[in-house]
């Protein structure tokens, strides 16, 4: 049997990058996939790709920074699919600058999407999981949330916060049948990384003991494991998927 057979999975930021790889992976493992994203064009295109493979998929345009948007999307998901089994809090942005140069707007944009967005999506979904006494929530953290990174005060703050929230929610929701865990990716070859100069990318590869950048599929595989029945007794952890960057 496929590992997510008949499961209903929401993937935020699922229209591209790691989110898209996760949507493809989950669909291959038998899940019905609901993409929550602000990018309607790419989201609908992905859903059409999945449907062409006879996968049950749906796109909902969601602004994760707005609680009314996430609550509406959760209700629509349940109306269409009857339940919610899995929430992958994958949506995130960067607005990098050193502390001296970072604007209040840059700070707030990242906080709103990466931290408040995770709160809003989880807050909207958990009533349905609590009702059925089952759920898997996986939050996207980052290795920089564990050790910091130059020029990313806002991003690091959100990812450190997500690690903390994951531990709290594991305690609060575990007794209600809901597992809450986080994945901390290292340097992953996504569209976001294409803005980085070639020489810096090379240095990042050299810093990684496995000698390469991670692939979106590497993170999708971690999401898959923590969303599967194989991870039923795993709760409150942050799984580093970084090629050995932090050992």
The CA-atom distances, in angstroms, between 4 and each of 99, 113, 124, 196 are 43, 28, 22, 35
**Torsion angle in degrees (nearest 10) through CA of 56, 59, 65, 69:** -90
User: Which is catalytic among the residues 134, 147, 155, 223?
Assistant: 155
Cα(183)–Cα(239) distance, integer angstroms: 5
Report the length, in residues, of the chain. Answer: 247
134 catalytic? Reply is: no
Q: Residue 175 gets which letter from DSSP?
A: T
CA–CA separation, 103 vs 208, rounded Å? 31
Q: Which residues contact 87 (CB under 8 A, 6 or more apart)?
A: 9, 10, 12, 121, 122, 125, 129, 135, 136, 137, 138
d(CA 206, CA 216): 19
Q: Distance between CA atoms of 183 and 162, rounded to whole angstroms? A: 10
Residues annotated as catalytic are 155
């Amino acid at each position: 049997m496929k590992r997510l057979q008949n499961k209903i999975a929401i993937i935020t930021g699922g229209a591209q990058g790691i989110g898209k790889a996760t949507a493809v992976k989950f669909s291959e493992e038998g899940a019905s996939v609901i993409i929550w994203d602000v990018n309607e064009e790419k989201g609908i295109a992905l859903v059409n790709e999945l449907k062409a493979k006879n996968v049950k998929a749906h796109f909902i345009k969601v602004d994760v920074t707005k609680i009314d948007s996430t609550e509406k999307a959760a209700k629509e998901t349940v109306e269409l699919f009857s339940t919610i089994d899995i929430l992958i809090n994958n949506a995130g942005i960067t607005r990098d600058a050193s502390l001296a140069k970072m604007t209040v707007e840059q700070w707030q944009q990242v906080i709103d999407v990466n931290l408040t967005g995770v709160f809003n999506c989880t807050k909207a979904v958990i009533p349905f999981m609590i009702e059925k006494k089952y759920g898997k929530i996986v939050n996207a953290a980052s290795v920089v949330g564990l050790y910091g990174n130059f020029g990313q005060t806002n991003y690091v703050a959100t990812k450190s916060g997500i690690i903390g929230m994951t531990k709290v929610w594991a305690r609060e929701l575990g007794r209600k049948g809901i597992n809450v865990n986080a994945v901390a990716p290292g340097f992953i070859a996504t569209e976001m990384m294409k803005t980085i100069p070639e020489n810096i990318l090379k240095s990042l590869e050299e810093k990684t003991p496995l000698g390469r950048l991670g692939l979106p599929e590497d993170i999708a595989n971690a999401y898959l494991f923590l969303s599967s029945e194989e991870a039923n007794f795993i709760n409150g952890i942050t799984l580093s998927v970084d090629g050995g960057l932090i050992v």
